[in-house]
Amino acid sequence: MQILKLIFKNAFRHKLRTFLTISGISIAILAFGLLRTVVDSWYAGVKASAANRLVSRNAISLVFPLPISYKDKIRQIDGVTNVSYGNWFGGIYIDEKNFFANFAVEPKSYLELYPEYVLQPDQQAAFLRDRKGFVAGRKIADKYNWKPGDTVILKGTIFPGQWEFVLRAIYKGKTKSIDETQFIFHWEYLNETLKKTVARRADQVGFYMIGVKSPNIAPEVSRAIDKTFRNSLAETLTETEKAFQMSFISMSEAIVVAIQLVSFVVIIIIMAVMANTMAMSARERIGEYAVFKTLGFGGAYVAALIFGESLFISSVGCVIGTILTFPAAKAFGAMMSQFFPIFNVSVNTVYLDVAASVIVGVIAAIIPTYRAASIRIADGLRRIG
């Protein structure tokens, strides 16, 4: 207990220096936590992907459509349990800045494939009945103050025109990792309108979502689907939902790597600051450590004092920085919701904060400890400051 009291008193012997060091560590941990949360949010779609879902698209590019007639052939492939389909709609609500994902899908099969979207039974039934109905995620419904029964108009970009929808259901994610900012409506509503306006674009889909019996047979089913449509006018590329999501991440991989590097650079910088603080503290107390040795305390005791002080300062900074990360992430997530629909501080991020603070505390104390523990008593007593 005496050594703990001594560590505490040593840590606050120079209050201003300790305060500035703790503040620096807190800011560094806050920045590190936010940057790691940005990386986690970037991969949120990948993490939320189900192992038993496949995505099939045009082999040339996602922008090229597939015939709606493919759905019956896909259903007949061994191992397939469910097939849904849809199109990226790309509609704009009032202004371009109001961006959110909006899809035209076959509603019944789509909701069956995505049980993580939780709807109230009466609202789900109302949505399935109404061809012009749509489902909105809780976050965008709250953002725009939409209520069931409200009429919402989207301006089409890929499919030009003013598209009128009626909100019939609001979904919530089964877990915090589920995107609650999507806008989902009936593919039939889109298709029927296209038949009247641009008939050549009707009866086509952008992607198929396919449920399989087991994740173990996903590669086999993927190959079977692509083989079925090989040498056709619209060949397919089928992959797991996770691989499909990763293909989007790979387009911005350089940005993700840069963010990861910056997060570690922040820790390295604060490590240098912390090392300088501990070096100054140890240098000022060389005479005291020599006295300890004179009284019979060994180098291990001196090392415990320095390491204890370093870890105490870094731990206090870690606790403050970690606590501040949560409100900061909430504010940042609200501000950048259209880019990061899921922005939650994960448990892994907290673990990384703790690990980073421990590493900073340990490394910062190594050189001062070695110097203080190895100095001879006579040389230490000769030192004034």
Phi/psi at 173 (nearest 5 deg)? -75, 140
**CA distance readout (Å), 275 to 58, 106, 111, 357, 369:** 56, 60, 55, 13, 11
Whether 132 contacts 188, CB under 8 Å: no
Sequence ranges of the domains in the chain: 2-44+253-382, 60-234
The predicted pLDDT at position 338 comes to: 67
Q: What angle do CA 37, 43, 48 make, to 5 degrees?
A: 110
| pLDDT (0 to 100) of residue 378 | 67
Q: Which residue has the tokens 């097939």?
A: 83
For residue 92, give the DSSP letter: B
- Measured CA to CA, the distance from residue 202 to residue 193 in angstroms comes to 8
What element of type H or E holds 137? Answer: strand 133-137
Instruction: For Cα atoms 66, 70, 73, give the angle at the middle one, nearest 5 degrees.
Output: 160
Please, is 82 exposed, middle or buried when counting C-beta atoms within 10 Å of its C-beta (0-12, 13-18, 19+)?
middle
| Nearest one of 383, 385, 384, 381 to 291, comparing CA atoms | 381
**What pTM value is reported for the model?**
0.76
Give the CA angle between residues 289, 295, 299 to the nearest 5°.
Answer: 45
The one-letter amino acid at 14: H
Q: Collapsing DSSP states into helix, strand and coil, what is residue 339? A: coil
Q: Return the number of other C-beta atoms located less than 10 Å from residue 195's C-beta.
A: 12
CA proximity to 123, closest of 147, 106, 104, 152: 147
pLDDT at 109: 95
Tell me if 40 sits within 8 A of 195, measured CB to CB: no
Q: Are 237 and 66 in contact (CB under 8 A)?
A: no
Q: Say if residues 210 and 82 touch (Cβ distance below 8 Å).
A: yes
Q: What is the pLDDT along the chain (385 residues), one digit of tens a residue?
A: 577 787 777 777 778 888 888 888 899 999 998 988 888 887 777 777 788 999 999 999 888 999 999 999 999 999 999 999 999 998 999 888 888 889 999 999 999 999 999 999 999 999 999 999 999 999 999 999 999 999 999 998 889 889 999 999 999 998 888 889 899 999 999 999 999 888 888 899 999 999 999 999 999 999 999 999 998 889 999 999 988 888 777 766 777 788 888 888 888 888 888 888 887 776 767 676 667 667 667 767 777 888 888 888 889 999 999 999 999 988 887 777 767 777 888 888 899 999 988 888 888 888 877 777 676 766 656 665 4
Q: What is the DSSP string of 261-288?
A: HHHHHHHHHHHHHHHHHHHHHHHHTHHH
